[in-house]
Amino acid sequence: MYRGTSAITLDSKNRITIPTRYREELFADCQGKMVCTLDIQHPCLLLYPLPEWEEIELKLCGLSSMNPQERLLQQVLLGNASDCEIDKSGRLLINGPLRQHTGLEKNLMLVGQLRKFEIWSESAWQTQMQQGIAKIQSGEIELTDRLLDLSL
């Protein structure tokens, strides 16, 4: 399970360094083979270990291409999915279309989210956190059964 936020940089060759604390687990999960695609709700990227992604792909495969909404999801998620492999120095290449769509700058945040990561530009992530916390504290969150079950 991946968790926590790391400040990382996009270097002049459009690579990011995966923090060492994740590498061992990543190598066990997927030998460094990962898939990066666009997020559909936020201006960020999603980074999956290959086996995780393959499960999602299977689900996407089950959607109907006759349903315009479902087809759109397929187009966005599958169309942007790009194979990335962690190189020998623990770095990973982020290709052009992905960078542009997210407006990635030099300073990024790599955010562990259980079985995947999110990649945000640092400023967007901070905004997301501030607004998100404000929203939760103001009680704008509707408490579903699943949420009530959370006792922190």
Q: Does 18 bind a second copy (CB under 8 A)?
A: no
Q: Indicate which of a second copy, DNA, none lies near residue 28 (CB less than 5 to 8 Å, by partner kind).
A: none
Q: For residue 16, with 0-12 CB atoms within 10 Å meaning exposed, 13-18 middle and 19 or more buried, which class applies?
A: buried
- CB–CB of 85/36 below 8 Å? no
* Region near a second copy per CB under 8 A, out of 9-17, 24-32, 37-45, 86-94: 37-45
Query: Terminus-to-terminus CA distance in the chain, angstroms?
Result: 18
Interface map 119-138 toward DNA (x if CB under 7 A): --------------------
Minimum distance from CB of 148 to a second copy (Å)?
11
Nearer CB in complex with a second copy: 13/59: 59
Is 33 among the residues that bind DNA (CB under 7 A)? no
Please tell me the distance from the alpha carbon of residue 74 to that of residue 149, in angstroms, as a whole number: 32
Q: Is 74 in the site for a second copy (CB under 8 A)?
A: yes
107 vs 128, beta carbon nearer a second copy: 128
φ, ψ dihedrals at 146, nearest 5°: -60, -40
From 26, 30, 111, 124, residue interacting with a second copy (rule: CB under 8 A): 111
Residue whose C-alpha is closest to residue 4's, from 26, 24, 19: 19
Beta-carbon count within 10 A of 94 CB: 20
The piece of 15-23, 46-54, 114-122, 138-146 that touches DNA (CB under 7 A) is 15-23
Helix (H) or strand (E) holding 20: helix 20-30
Q: Which residue ranges make up the site for DNA (CB under 7 A)?
A: 6, 8-9, 11-13, 17-20, 87-91, 93
